Amino acid sequence: MKVFLFFIFLIPLVSTAQVKYNSESKKLYNKAVKEYKAGKTLEALELFEACVVADPRYVEAYLNISNIKYASKDYASAVSNAQKAYSNNKFAPAVYAQLGKSFYMNGQADSSKLYLEKGLSMGNTSESDRFFLAKSYLQTEDYDKAISQLNEITKTSEKNAAIFNARGRANYLTGNYENAEADFKKALELEPNSTVAFSNLANTVLVSGKTDDAIGYIEKGMIDAKDDDKVQMLILSGNYYHQKGEFENASKAFDDAMALDAKNVVVLNNQAALLLDQDQYESAISKCNEALDIQPEMMEAYFNRGIANEMLRKVEQACDDWEHAFILGSEKAEEYLNSATCNE
């Protein structure tokens, strides 16, 4: 499960006027700024929208409309209005920053990366711009570039836990568990009760083989965990007990997670893995099927179902499952496909 902390930014009132707008639009814009500063966001929005009707070239008004829409989590509208600003001025760094963060929050990391990179080349080197660029790199699996941007931020800012959680995530995904652990510990130092940091640390030490270190992080993380965070901590608890060979405790942790989120494919797959280690192959297949019904392209579920089918001597089905897993990116599945089992 990918866990990210996001910054929360105050809405800036953009003012980079280089075009001579008509007098009516300028009056509307100035009034909108006054209303916004008075805390009347809706009134300000209406005035900014009237401003661009009066003069469709008003870049700053479009940007402020985009910012207001962004703050209300209407990211599609934030993108649309930022694009209108861009169509009128392709040389303002603020336009690229607004496009980048709006595209990112609208789930379009590739576009976000494109505009944030351009903004960086134009001098957008603020912490927020670099952080959104780093998150875009994380989403597009450009982990080394993400680390590079996060390193730049830490040169001037070492007080934000989100930076270290993000860099820890990038290090984790590149297999650099030592650096990941150090980053997550720094994040925890900055936010001592952070469920995210406890979760990240527990996951990292489990994967890196420091199993005994994990339970302390899990137990502390559970104290303030709520909703999705609690499910994540229960998954980690199940994984911990599974690695320790305490199958009954692992099963209970996964069952507790399922009680909170019955359609969580990670839990279902981990239950399948636990059942495999208990030689309960039919039940493992059932769990994999449930996961694949929810997420048809879940690589791990195909792989585990392949193992279960192999143990039930259903070789053709096993090889078919491993082929699906291989197509979805599983290196382990490739090993099984090249083994004698699938090449008799």
| Per-residue pLDDT reduced to its tens digit, 47-75 | 999 999 999 999 999 999 999 999 999 99
According to the model, what pLDDT value does residue 180 have?
A: 97
Residue 237 belongs to some domain of the structure:
no
- pLDDT at res. 20: 86
- The residue from 124, 144, 174 where one domain ends is 124
Per the structure, the complete domain to which residue 343 belongs is given by 263-344
Collapsing DSSP to helix, strand or coil, 236 comes out as: helix
> For the purposes of burial, counting CB atoms within 10 Å of the CB of 308, is it exposed (0-12), middle (13-18) or buried (19 or more)?
buried
Query: Backbone phi, then psi, for 229, in 5-degree steps?
Result: -65, -40
**What sign does the dihedral 139-145-147-149 (CA atoms) show?**
negative
Comparing C-alpha atoms, which of 88, 75, 82 is closest to residue 114? Answer: 82
Of 81, 99, 124, which residue constitutes the final position of a domain?
124
Say if 92 falls within a structural domain: yes
Report if residue 33 sits inside a domain: yes
Given this model, what pLDDT does residue 18 score?
56
Residue 91 lies in a domain: yes
Cα–Cα dist 131/106, whole Å? 16
Q: Supply the pLDDT for residue 227.
A: 82
Residue 58: which CATH number? 1.25.40.10
Asked whether residue 255 is assigned to any structural domain, the reply reads no
- Please check whether residue 57 lies inside any domain of the structure: yes
State how far the Cα of 340 lies from the Cα of 344, in Å rounded to an integer.
6
Q: How far apart are CA 16 and CA 88, in angstroms?
A: 13
Identify the three-state secondary structure at position 203. helix
pLDDT tens track, the chain, 344 positions = 222 222 223 333 344 445 689 999 999 999 999 999 999 999 999 999 999 999 999 999 999 999 999 999 999 999 999 999 999 999 999 999 999 999 999 999 999 999 999 999 999 999 999 999 999 999 999 999 999 999 999 999 889 999 999 999 999 999 999 999 999 999 999 999 999 999 999 999 999 999 999 999 999 999 989 888 999 999 999 999 999 999 999 999 999 999 999 999 999 999 999 999 999 999 999 999 999 999 999 999 999 999 999 999 999 999 999 999 999 999 999 999 999 889 86
Confidence (pTM):
0.84
Answer for the pair 63, 33: CB distance below 8 angstroms, yes or no: no
Do 134 and 150 contact (CB within 8 A), yes or no? yes
The pLDDT of residue 19 = 66
Whose tokens are 């499910």? That residue is 231
Rounded CA gap, 289 and 115, in Å? 41
**Joined tokens for residue 60:** 């700053």
Report the domain count for the chain: 2
Among the candidates 103, 124, 145, a domain finishes at 124
Is residue 75 included in any domain, yes or no? yes
CA torsion angle for 177, 181, 187, 191 (degrees, to 10)? 140
Closest by Cα among 54, 49, 75, 43 to 64:
49
Query: What integer pLDDT is reported at residue 228 of this predicted model?
Result: 84
Query: Dihedrals φ, ψ of 37, to 5°?
Result: -65, -25
With respect to residue 164, please indicate whether it lies within any of the assigned structural domains: no
